[in-house]
A and B are shown apart, each in its own frame.
Chain A
Amino acid sequence: TQLLEQSPQFLSIQEGENLTVYCNSSSVFSSLQWYRQEPGEGPVLLVTVVTGGEVKKLKRLTFQFGDARKDSSLHITAAQPGDTGLYLCAGGIDDMRFGAGTRLTVKP
């Protein structure tokens, strides 16, 4: 079983600050996905990274896939209260496995 470890587990910051959350594994993945989940709802896909070293930007969110395709990071610039949520990474195809997530709170 390919395990994904996410850190930190919880993160509370002020509006306007920058942050980075991490997703690490000892296994190589052909791709990793980042999802955001709101309470009582299903995960919503943010991005898929496929190529080692790949960097993808989604407005203020920057996603990076490690060169060895074992880890990924999500960097948020100038966080806003609307960014509050649970950020999940997931890897695998037919049997996708999720990390436990980073619960982000952005205070106004």
Chain B
Amino acid sequence: EPEVTQTPSHQVTQMGQEVILRCVPISNHLYFYWYRQILGQKVEFLVSFYNNEISEKSEIFDDQFSVERPDGSNFTLKIRSTKLEDSAMYFCASSDPSGGGDIQYFGAGTRLSVL
């Protein structure tokens, strides 16, 4: 069964460093998303991406964050200068336009630890 894959599973970085989280969405999907989940808290929407541009973004997704689809398969989330409070699980999701874009399938996540 097709799945969304995320790498790495765990990323440890120093405060102030740049990190890039990588996702390979399901191959025929055209809508892509990033979410984060701070330990013990709810899953929070960060950004949605379609047709090579951001569709929606939340208040969390500030200038420190950016997304890119550098090729036909990868979808990345970059955090320019990490802060301690960026430590969280980051989930990528993708959806199928033929389903109206409603059904999002999630990857297993990348755990980001900022020291």
Contact = CB atoms under 8 A, between A and B. Distances in A.
Do A and B pair up? The answer is yes
Interface of A: 30-31, 33, 35, 37, 40-45, 48, 50, 88, 90, 92-101
A31 B42 contact: no
A67 B50 CA distance: 31
**Interface residue tally of chain B, by bracket?**
20 to 34
The binding surface of chain A is classed by DSSP as loop
A48 B102 CA distance: 8
Contacts of B25: none
9 contacts: A33-B104, A37-B43, A41-B108, A42-B4, A88-B43, A95-B57, A98-B43, A98-B45, A100-B41
Contacts of B43: 37, 43, 88, 90, 98
B106 A43 contact: yes
A96 B42 contact: no
Interface of B: 4, 31, 33, 35, 41-45, 48, 50, 55-58, 89, 91, 93, 100-109, 111
A55 B39 CA distance: 33
Contacts of B35: 98
B42 A99 contact: yes
Given A45-B106, A93-B101, A94-B31, 18 more contacts: A35-B106, A37-B43, A40-B109, A41-B108, A42-B106, A42-B109, A44-B106, A45-B105, A48-B102, A50-B102, A88-B43, A92-B45, A94-B55, A94-B56, A98-B42, A98-B45, A99-B42, A101-B42
Most chain A beta-carbon neighbours within 10 Å: one of B45, B57, B107: B45
B103 A41 contact: no
A93 B102 contact: yes
A95 to B, nearest CB: 4
